[in-house]
């Protein structure tokens, strides 16, 4: 019988009793299936190692350790492994089935903060699982929402810790090599990003702090698409302080996300206790979300409702003092010389000024209510002053209506004119968009033509791209002018007649490269003024070799190094290294190389690490060197990886000699 492939086990029966129903997940080294026991009719999860993992001794040993570790646990918040499979070329483990998916899936499906009561009921018990494994001396090393499974029974959801593949067990041999990063970047601690040595349970506390931050705010504390930049943020930058979070919870986050392990909670039990107290205070203070109206799909089991964050000013309701009684108000009105109430409307023409015996009711515990008009059956005699007021009011009303209608008629723009103006605005917007597209297309056409060896079209396109201020256009045009003689030769070799013609003309007239360098300098200067670091670097190189002028070279190096691109810093440091008496520029060179390294130029990391290695004498200096080499390694420079391993091996040898 042929051995089935680990990715195509649907419908197969393993060990004669587990029927594979569906593929529910795939990780880096294994496939996860949902299966049912043929006799017990129970649902289980079967994790099957991939072919590549079965052939890799280290991955295979990790898989065995993971199964043994989860089989030995008896905690309600840890996924239990109940069996093992090793037959027909398949290696896998059987574990309990969690019917509500991963926490990561829930957070993505329902983005936004989680209510404090949900965190108290579900996240706090999970901390108990970490307390349990930490007391055994184990470190999980891969804390993240996708390794937390959700299981719902009788409308009660339990979070369970899973995936012990990177478990650090002090009683077993360490499978991770020195200097090798292990974990998930967004949830890893600073010590995991910097070195794989001396990682203990406090790294798990940092990962739990990141999860807590995401549960409270709906966002990650550190975010970047580049792993190197993310590692620098986690190692150096403080986490953004979320708005609307009580001070007690902020204190818990501050301790959990501390950069140094010594400044974090002493153990997970202390973390759990502090968080429980902070959540209890937040819930009792009324700062919870359960009182809000649930969303439409909140009836789904395991649903995490969203919290609405209002960033605008909030209306403040101040309780009114006890309102005065009606008798007190009437006495105060009687003492006044003139009445302040509005006159009441009557059936007959005229108004009844002054207060009357009929008053509006006043709330005993609230502000007085404005009097409403009262109809009366008869009308008293109307005074002359009341008539004058009435006539003045009517005249003012008529005047206002007349001015309003006249002003609207006079100032209202005709419909045709409005249509014409909108058409003009639309045309301008379209022209603006077309201009931007043309500007960018000039550079694209020029580069494509240069690849095909078409000299005239390349020059025309680059010239237009530069003088129409296309980003990068002036630098490319300057480089083309600088290398005109070589560009003509290349175009002629590829069959461009225009290139051959001008190549012959240049040779006949005796044009030299210095002629084109002088023409290229103003273009490089224009690129540098437009904050293109490549133009500044090219100018500095010209003033070093073609037209020796160290002062101008230093000026343009400094200008380019101040821009976000770090290439100028790298070239500046190389020039200083080539000069005599390099020791005078020691600090300057280190600063330039560090700047280049932080802007993802791996050569700067390599040079900086080697310089520091030569002068290193203390342990802290070796830690910084390892971090520099790690940045180069993570940016796909194999030299950094090799140097990092050499450094780790040398340090390990010194440590052994010291013990002897």
Task: Check residue 203 and give its pLDDT.
Answer: 92
- Pick the closest to residue 559 from 574, 549, 570, 569 (CA basis): 569
Place of tokens 């010239």: 463
- Pick the closest to residue 628 from 655, 654, 601, 589 (CA basis): 601
Please report whether residue 331 resides in a domain. Answer: no
What 3-state DSSP class applies to 235? helix
Task: Check residue 219 and give its pLDDT.
Answer: 92
Please report whether residue 328 resides in a domain. Answer: no
Of 72, 96, 120, the domain-final residue? 96
Task: Check residue 467 and give its pLDDT.
Answer: 77
Considering the domain architecture, whether residues 619 and 659 belong to the same structural domain is answered as yes
Domain tally for the chain? 3
Whole-angstrom distance, CA of residue 165 vs CA of residue 30: 11
Please report whether residue 389 resides in a domain. Answer: no
Give the burial string for 452-464 (b: 16+ CB within 10 Å, else e). ebbbebbbebbbb
Question: Which residues is 157 bridged to in the sheet?
Answer: 152
Task: Check residue 349 and give its pLDDT.
Answer: 36
Considering the domain architecture, whether residues 194 and 234 belong to the same structural domain is answered as yes
Q: Give the CATH number for residue 88.
A: 3.30.200.20
Considering the domain architecture, whether residues 37 and 120 belong to the same structural domain is answered as no
Task: Quote the longest CA-to-CA distance of the chain.
Answer: 120
Please report whether residue 506 resides in a domain. Answer: no
Considering the domain architecture, whether residues 118 and 244 belong to the same structural domain is answered as yes
Considering the domain architecture, whether residues 196 and 245 belong to the same structural domain is answered as yes
Please report whether residue 249 resides in a domain. Answer: yes
Considering the domain architecture, whether residues 133 and 221 belong to the same structural domain is answered as yes
Considering the domain architecture, whether residues 127 and 67 belong to the same structural domain is answered as no
Please report whether residue 428 resides in a domain. Answer: no
Considering the domain architecture, whether residues 35 and 172 belong to the same structural domain is answered as no
Please report whether residue 228 resides in a domain. Answer: yes
Please report whether residue 356 resides in a domain. Answer: no
Return contacts of 319-324, CB within 8 angstroms, 24+ apart.
320/365, 320/366, 320/367, 322/364, 322/365, 323/362, 323/363, 323/364, 323/365, 323/366, 323/367, 323/368
Of 62, 96, 130, the domain-final residue? 96
Q: Is the pTM of this model over 0.85?
A: no
Task: Check residue 126 and give its pLDDT.
Answer: 94
Task: Check residue 636 and give its pLDDT.
Answer: 79
Considering the domain architecture, whether residues 80 and 203 belong to the same structural domain is answered as no
- Binned average pLDDT, 10 residues per bin, the chain of 660 residues: 73 86 84 89 89 75 81 86 82 88 90 90 93 88 91 88 79 50 82 74 94 93 83 87 89 93 92 94 73 33 30 32 41 42 36 38 38 37 58 77 63 46 49 56 60 67 76 82 83 82 86 88 89 88 89 89 83 86 83 86 87 79 85 84 84 52
Question: Which residues is 31 bridged to in the sheet?
Answer: 26, 48
Residue numbers of the domain that contains 635: 600-660
Q: Give the CATH number for residue 191.
A: 1.10.510.10
Considering the domain architecture, whether residues 167 and 260 belong to the same structural domain is answered as yes
Considering the domain architecture, whether residues 175 and 107 belong to the same structural domain is answered as yes
- Contact between 295 and 114 under an 8 Å Cβ cutoff? The reply is no
Task: Check residue 277 and give its pLDDT.
Answer: 94
- Pick the closest to residue 545 from 592, 587, 482 (CA basis): 482
Give the burial string for 141-153 (b: 16+ CB within 10 Å, else e). bbbbbbbbbbbee
Distances 33 to 52, 103, 192, 638 between C-alpha atoms, Å: 18, 18, 31, 37
Helix, strand, coil shares of the chain, percent, nearest 5, are 55, 10, 35
Of 46, 70, 96, the domain-final residue? 96
Considering the domain architecture, whether residues 227 and 84 belong to the same structural domain is answered as no
């Amino acid at each position: 019988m042929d051995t089935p492939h680990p990715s195509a086990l649907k419908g197969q029966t393993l060990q004669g009793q587990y029927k594979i129903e569906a593929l529910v997940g795939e990780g880096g080294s294994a496939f996860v299936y949902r299966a049912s026991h043929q006799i017990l009719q129970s649902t289980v999860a079967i994790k099957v190692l991939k072919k590549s993992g079965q052939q890799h001794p280290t991955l295979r040993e990790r898989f065995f350790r993971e199964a043994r570790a989860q089989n030995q646990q008896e905690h309600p918040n840890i996924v239990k492994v109940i069996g093992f499979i090793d037959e027909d070329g398949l290696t896998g483990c059987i574990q309990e089935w969690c019917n509500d998916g991963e926490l990561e899936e829930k957070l993505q499906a329902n983005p936004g903060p989680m209510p404090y009561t949900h965190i108290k009921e579900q996240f706090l018990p999970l901390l108990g699982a970490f307390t349990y494994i930490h007391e055994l001396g184990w470190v999980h090393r891969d804390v993240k929402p996708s390794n937390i499974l959700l299981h719902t029974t009788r409308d009660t959801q339990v979070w369970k810790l899973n995936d012990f593949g990177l478990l650090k067990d002090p009683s077993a041999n360490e499978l991770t090599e020195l200097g090798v990063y292990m974990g998930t970047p967004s949830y890893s601690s600073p010590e995991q990003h910097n070195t794989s040595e001396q990682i203990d349970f406090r790294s798990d506390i940092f990962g739990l702090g990141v999860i807590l931050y995401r549960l409270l705010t709906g966002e990650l504390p550190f975010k970047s698409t580049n792993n190197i930049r993310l590692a620098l943020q986690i190692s150096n930058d403080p986490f953004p302080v979320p708005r609307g979070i009580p001070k007690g919870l902020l204190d818990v986050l501050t301790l959990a996300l501390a950069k140094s392990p010594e400044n974090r909670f002493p153990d997970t039990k202390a973390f759990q206790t502090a968080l429980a107290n902070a959540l209890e205070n937040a819930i009792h203070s009324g700062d919870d979300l359960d009182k809000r109206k649930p969303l439409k799909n909140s009836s789904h089991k395991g649903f995490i409702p969203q919290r609405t964050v209002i960033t605008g000013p909030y209306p403040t309701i101040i309780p009114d003092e006890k309102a005065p009684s009606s008798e007190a108000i009437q006495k105060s009105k009687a003492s006044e010389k003139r009445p302040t109430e509005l006159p009441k409307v009557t059936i007959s023409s005229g108004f009844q000024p002054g207060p009357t015996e009929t008053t509006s009711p006043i709330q005993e515990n609230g502000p007085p209510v404005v009097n409403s008009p009262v109809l009366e059956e008869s009308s008293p005699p109307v005074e002359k002053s009341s008539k004058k007021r009435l006539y003045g009011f009517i005249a003012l009303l008529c005047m206002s209506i007349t001015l309003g209608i006249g002003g609207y008629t006079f100032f209202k723009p005709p419909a045709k004119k409005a249509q014409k103006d909108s058409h003009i605005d639309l045309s301008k917007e379209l022209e603006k968009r077309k201009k931007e597209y043309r500007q960018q297309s000039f550079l694209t056409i020029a580069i494509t033509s240069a690849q095909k060896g078409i000299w005239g079209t390349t020059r025309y396109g680059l010239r237009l791209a530069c003088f129409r201020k296309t980003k990068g256009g002036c630098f490319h045009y300057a480089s083309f002018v600088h290398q005109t003689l070589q560009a003509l030769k290349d175009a002629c070799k590829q069959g461009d007649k225009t290139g051959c013609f001008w190549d012959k003309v240049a040779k006949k007239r005796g044009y030299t490269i210095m002629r084109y360098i002088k023409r290229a300098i103003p273009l490089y200067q224009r690129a540098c003024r437009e904050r293109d670091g490549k133009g500044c670097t090219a100018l500095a190189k010209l003033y070093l070799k073609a037209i020796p002028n160290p002062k101008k070279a230093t000026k343009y190096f400094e200008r380019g190094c101040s821009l976000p691109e770090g290439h100028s810093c790298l070239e500046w440091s190389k020039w200083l290294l080539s000069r005599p008496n390099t020791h005078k520029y020691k600090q300057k060179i280190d600063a330039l190389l560090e700047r280049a390294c932080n802007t993802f130029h791996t050569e700067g990391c390599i040079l900086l690490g080697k310089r520091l290695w030569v002068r290193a004498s203390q342990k802290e200096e070796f830690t910084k060197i390892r971090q520099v080499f790690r940045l180069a390694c993570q940016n796909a420079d194999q030299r950094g990886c090799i140097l990092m391993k050499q450094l780790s091996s040398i340090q390990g040898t010194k440590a052994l000699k010291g013990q002897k």
